[in-house]
Amino acid sequence: MESVLEPVTRPDLAAIKARQQATWASGDFAVIGTTLQIVGELLAEAVDVRAGERVLDVAAGNGNATLAAARRFADVTSSDYVPALLEKGRARAAAEGLAVQFEVADVEQLPFADGRFDVVLSTFGCMFAPDHPQVAREMLRVVRPGGRIGMANWTPAGFIGRLFKVIGAHVPPPAGVASPALWGSEPHLVELFGPRAAGMQVERRVFNFRYRDAAHWVQVFRDWYGPTHKAFAALDAAGRQRMEADIVALLDEFNVAGSESLVVPGEYLEVVITTAR
């Protein structure tokens, strides 16, 4: 008997990207983004950003890594595909008197010449693009031989990785698209960057989400964080109640502050890649 293979349906990455862009433009990520500033500072130190170096921050959001590099007197270009977030970064840079170039750009198709930058940075940004190999190719393309790529990526087993799973159980992600949390997996990074990497240093770090209580965290992320904002909007009243209960249970599981406050450790990988010469 002949077997008939079902045709492989490939995900429409352009359509997925358009929906993602709308997701990140919803709410106001800057409300959450500013609380993550310490991650940008630590990454700038790990990558050893030096004065005068040409630095590109990809999927920069409101500019945490951008500001960290500019504070070290680097020549910084901040890029994102959501113009409103770049405006938030521009206002922050202006408030500190920092000279930064801002450019609307998609990390999967960067409008920069080969080898233009000494350093490419990303804090919890590039990991959300749907085409992981293309993101890696573009980051490698625009950094010079012997340059550095620095990333901060949430891990699959950490709080944000677990949060993705909770949300996905209520609002399934697009079929055929790899999880963003894979960027927090060392084997995945080796697969993406290994052939072009002269060296790769990976360190597990923790960012502490500090809020008044679980209800406060849910309120802030439902109102301002694009992925949770859109997920709640996609559900009916009963669905929203069920997802909120599951998120609160996850927050309670991770909370290390007891009943008086909320401190949730969020594990991430701090990654420094040196490219081959």
Structure letter (DSSP) for residue 72: T
Considering the domain boundaries, does residue 219 fall inside one?
Answer: no
Burial class, 21, CB count within 10 angstroms (exposed 0-12 / middle 13-18 / buried 19+):
middle
Q: Is the pTM of this model over 0.95?
A: no
Which residue carries 């944000």 as its tokens? 160
Number of domains in the chain: 1
Tens digit of each residue's pLDDT, the chain (277 residues): 444 444 445 677 777 777 777 777 777 888 999 999 999 999 999 999 999 999 999 999 999 999 999 999 999 999 999 999 999 999 999 999 999 999 999 999 999 999 999 999 999 999 999 999 999 999 999 999 999 999 999 999 999 999 999 999 999 998 888 999 999 999 999 999 988 999 999 999 999 999 999 999 999 999 999 899 999 999 999 999 999 999 999 999 999 999 999 999 999 999 999 999 8
Considering the domain boundaries, does residue 28 fall inside one?
Answer: yes
Q: What are phi and psi of 89, to 5 degrees?
A: -65, -40
- What distance in Å separates the CA atoms of residue 89 and residue 252, rounded to the nearest whole number? 33
Q: Which domain holds residue 123?
A: 16-156+171-209+267-275
Coil, helix or strand for 7?
Answer: coil
- What distance in Å separates the CA atoms of residue 223 and residue 226, rounded to the nearest whole number? 8
Structure letter (DSSP) for residue 118: E
Considering the domain boundaries, does residue 36 fall inside one?
Answer: yes
Contact 123, 35 (CB under 8 A): no
pLDDT at residue number 174: 85
Contact 148, 243 (CB under 8 A): no
CA-CA distances (angstroms) from residue 84 to 27, 87, 109, 177?
A: 11, 5, 19, 26
* Exposure b/e, 99-122, CB count within 10 A at least 16 = b: ebebeebbbbebebeebbbbbbbb
Considering the domain boundaries, does residue 60 fall inside one?
Answer: yes
- What is the four-CA torsion angle of 275, 183, 152, 196, rounded to 10 degrees? 0
Considering the domain boundaries, does residue 6 fall inside one?
Answer: no
Considering the domain boundaries, does residue 88 fall inside one?
Answer: yes
Residue 262: strand pairing partners: 211
Considering the domain boundaries, does residue 52 fall inside one?
Answer: yes
Considering the domain boundaries, does residue 46 fall inside one?
Answer: yes
CATH number at residue 142: 3.40.50.150
- What distance in Å separates the CA atoms of residue 122 and residue 138, rounded to the nearest whole number? 13
